[in-house]
Structure 1
Amino acid sequence: TSLARIRFTTSHPRDFNENLISAMAGLPSVCEHIHLPLQSGSDKILRVMRRGYAFSDYFKKIDMLRDKIPGVALTTDIIVGFPGETEEDFEDTLSAMKRIRYDQIFSFKYSSRPSTAARTMPDQVPDLIKIERLERVHRLQDEITGEYHRSAEGTVEEILIEGVREKSLQPFGRTRTNKIVNLEELADVKEGAIVRAIITRGLKHSLLGKMI
């Protein structure tokens, strides 16, 4: 393809297979990033959610992905407080996060929806417990993301420019692994341009870089 970058955004883990991983690995324009929603690290909760896989199945695919695409960035979705989730189930989710070490997560506390089976399930989790669990997920992920960002300092990345910050007028864009990079200089670069930058600082949610 003549496109510089293609980002294969997401797949249901049940449908994510070796053929798809090989296709991603074999196309240079496909970015080294995949969003693979786990939802929970507890097999019991995954069954109740009817996700169609166990954590061991999911982890095998992560292993295969990292083997075929070294340096691939992983993001996911996590839901806490699904009906029936015990503290042990929640600890399974934290253990999964520690084992996989996602680059970023999108996390939510379960909220009931009309006309869904989960709405009338027994053992609904109190809201205060959901909030506390969500905070623990955030603390753990902030620690992991921070380590990734600090380890990027001094590396050289290709940045696809997405625009300019309204207040600072700093250009910003994304690496091939979907990390947001704010450029230090007020460079005259157009949206859609790809520039090389050295990462000067890893922040909580983004990176700082200087064009080279």
Structure 2
Amino acid sequence: MRPPSPPSPSSVLKAFCRAAFTLWACMTGAAGMAQATPAIELAGLDLPALVQGAQQVSGRGCPAVRARKPAALERPWRSVVTAVSMRCTALDGPDGKPDARTEAIATLRPGAAVLQGVPVVALRHSASWAHDDQQYVLAAAYSDIATRMGAYIKARCLSQATAGGGVEGQCTAVHEEGGQGLFMRTSELGGLWLRPDPDDAHRTVLAEAWSE
């Protein structure tokens, strides 16, 4: 019996090409599925807790806190946030005991979340016993979205006013000098801000904050 003939170079090449094409098709299909994942539509400034131990900061200060890992965040944030960083500054509390000011930033996966159709690229949260400042960083210039987002925060402000009573000047848009930003009061201590990001003119910051 004759031994089997070795495969011809052309048949080997064809088999290799078929295998390579199959691998490429699988990888392309997987990438397409990942890209097709719909973005999460956010509603309001409802940030996840980015700082671990914030409830224990009074009396202990900075040693009580650390940045949370993305995998530890609530759903759906754990699939949206890629990194969380935090800076802590020691200060005295109103009772004279150790306290702290925390500033946390969460970086979002590109295209993973939108607010009113505008991509959200980062979350920022600054807090202490005397203030709280929650921010969405939007991937659009202020001039491009001021009208749309202004109407959005007006509606949000009015819904809060209906639920919690009103204060003088509540939900009246106050435009900053030069038309680069606006503010709407939501309470005696704070309100909603929309302004260009001071770190990037192609981005806009939507913030809800209060301070004593």
Give the TM-score of the pair, scaled to structure 2. 0.26
Higher relative contact order, structure no. (Cα contacts within 8 Å, ≥ 6 residues apart): 1
Q: Rg bigger for which structure? A: 2
